[in-house]
Homo-oligomer: A and B are copies of this chain.
Amino acid sequence: MRPEEVKDLLTAMEAGTTSIEDALALLQRVPVEDLGFARVDTHRELRQGFAEAIYAEGKTADQVVAIATRVAEHSAAPVLATRVPERTAAALLAAFPDARHHELARLVVVRPTGDPEQQLGTVAVVSAGTSDLAVAEEAAVTAEALGAAVERVTDVGVAGVHRVLAVQDQLRAADVVVVVAGMDGALPSLIGGMVEAPVVAVPTSVGYGAAFDGLAALLTMLNSCAAGVAVVNIDNGFGGAMFALRALRLRR
């Protein structure tokens, strides 16, 4: 409930068109709809500028479709479902004919928009190795779906530093850089020292035993000796993109 709404309510009450009891009840109501198994946050678009995204893992296909339906009713923005199992993707495509399923990224975008005028700016999504591509795609598709232009830069791991040097201009041209890396997770340190833009590091669970499912890359990134690199959860390409989008809005 926004401040103006509170003021309107109080004015109505003063004018006698709303009773005290009704006003109290309204003040306690919040813009959340209870589906039984989930509370849909129908005002998130107003509050944060993006519609709610649905984390599909651990939910049934029916639950995901029901939540997506309700979110779509309250918002004109694209609706994202992440970590979508095959079965759930099929259900969403059936329910929303214009939905798009990005298989490598395991994402479904309900009601995608492609309007170039909506572009918030450019995100470079950089991946260290071919095995990191699924996470990088989750980041790239999320950023594109919510209004950013995306530059994909693939397989530029630090062990072949000339590969990174070769794409310096591309990286420097981006407004935000999302760096996706497993194994030693060293790439964000290198890029953090090359560019002026915010660098968001996404560790992946790719690697031999002592990678400990992404822990090694995570720690590397947190300890980056390039000042001003921040980190999101392991394999969380979606989170990396969401952070980039928040930053891009500073350009408006």
Q: Which residues of A contact B (CB under 8 A)?
A: 3, 6-7, 10-11, 13-14, 20, 23-24, 27-32, 34, 36-39, 41, 44, 47-49, 53, 55, 57-59, 63, 121, 128-131, 133, 154-166, 175-176, 183-186, 189-190, 192-200, 203, 205-236, 238-240, 242-243, 245-251
Contact = CB atoms under 8 A, between A and B. Distances in A.
Per assembly, the copies of the chain total: 8
A81 to B, nearest CB: 13
Nearest to A244: B228
A84 B22 CA distance: 48
A11 B20 contact: yes
6 contacts: A38-B154, A58-B131, A159-B227, A161-B161, A210-B234, A218-B222
B229 A37 contact: no
Given A210-B223, A236-B208, A250-B250, A154 B36 contact: yes
Given A206-B58, A208-B236, A223 B37 contact: no
B130 A189 contact: no
A224 B183 contact: yes
A125 to B, nearest CB: 14
Contacts of A235: 208-209
Contact of A223 (B175, B176, B183, B221): B183
B247 A247 contact: yes
B184 A225 contact: yes
Contacts of A232: 222, 229-231
Given A130-B58, A190-B190, A239 B251 contact: no
